[in-house]
Structures are given as C-alpha cells and as structure tokens.
Amino acid sequence: MIGKGNRRRKVSPWFSGGGAIALQTWLELRGSSPGAVFAKIDRYDDYIHITKNGMTTDGLRRILHQRVQKAGLPPETEWHDFRCILITNLIQESGLEVANKFIGHATLQQTAQYGRDVEWQVREAVAKLLMPAALR
C-alpha cells in the first residue's frame, strides 16, 4: 500500500482478527489494481460497481459519524482518535519499541507522541493506589 507521504507500506503481518478479515474480504472484492483502498461504490438496481476512485473526505466522515452514533461514542470522535487509542494501548501493554514496530513510524519519537495519554492514566492509577479503598 502507498501511505502517508507516498511511502510504500506493507499491511502489518501482525494485523489479525475481525478487522483483518474484513479488510482482506474488501480487498478481494475491490481487486488488486492500483487505487484508493476505500473506493466509491456505485449502486444500481441490480448490481454494484466498485470504482477505482477514492471516496470523498465528506463521504468517509459521514460514514464515520453514522458508526460513531451507532456505537454510542462521543459525536466529536474522528478517525485519528482510533489510531491514538491503538498506539496508546500498544505502548501501555507492550512498550514503545513494539508499538513503533507495529505502527511503522520512522522514529521512536513519532510513536512516543501518542503516549501522552499514558501519563494521565499513570497519574490516575497512582492516585487510586494512594487513596484508601473505602474512599474510592
């Protein structure tokens, strides 16, 4: 895949589960020719045509907000929030180096920027430890 900055990227071999299955199924339907991953779909009465044109930013945002509402997430949720959550969780669970390797950043410093939420969570965890259980 061609990613941000026109850099060629491989889909992580560690990507698994339902998301990986859905992506693989979509890529099989979409085909392997060059073009946007999230292609525009033209629907006709008796068939569906997957174009090689990418969806518009507005179209993607509309889908996101429909899904966000359905999931009961805050309405201001954006695409990048999911990336931030993933990277923050990877840093917490497996460390900065593992998160960096998975996400494919060029430097550890890029990945470390996503760990800002970890500091808040550490403060919260320490506060719980210092507070007697009866007061929680």
Is the pLDDT score of 11 beyond 80?
Answer: no
pLDDT tens digits for 110-119? 999 887 666 6
- Average the pLDDT over 120-130 and give the result: 67
Tokens encoding 118: 């970890």
The CA-atom distances, in angstroms, between 97 and each of 10, 26, 81, 82 are 18, 30, 21, 20
pLDDT tens digits for 30-63? 887 778 888 888 888 788 888 878 888 898 999 9
The DSSP annotation for 25-53 comes to HHHHHH-SSSS-SSEEEEE-SS-EEEEEE
State the pLDDT confidence band at 2, using cuts at 50, 70 and 90.
Answer: low
pTM for the complete prediction? 0.63
- How many other C-beta atoms are found inside a 10 Å radius of the C-beta of residue 100? 21
Q: At what angle do helices 79-94 and 116-130 cross, to 10 degrees?
A: 60
User: What region does 36 belong to: left with phi over 0, alpha with psi -120 to 50, or beta?
Assistant: beta
Domain ranges of the chain: 75-136
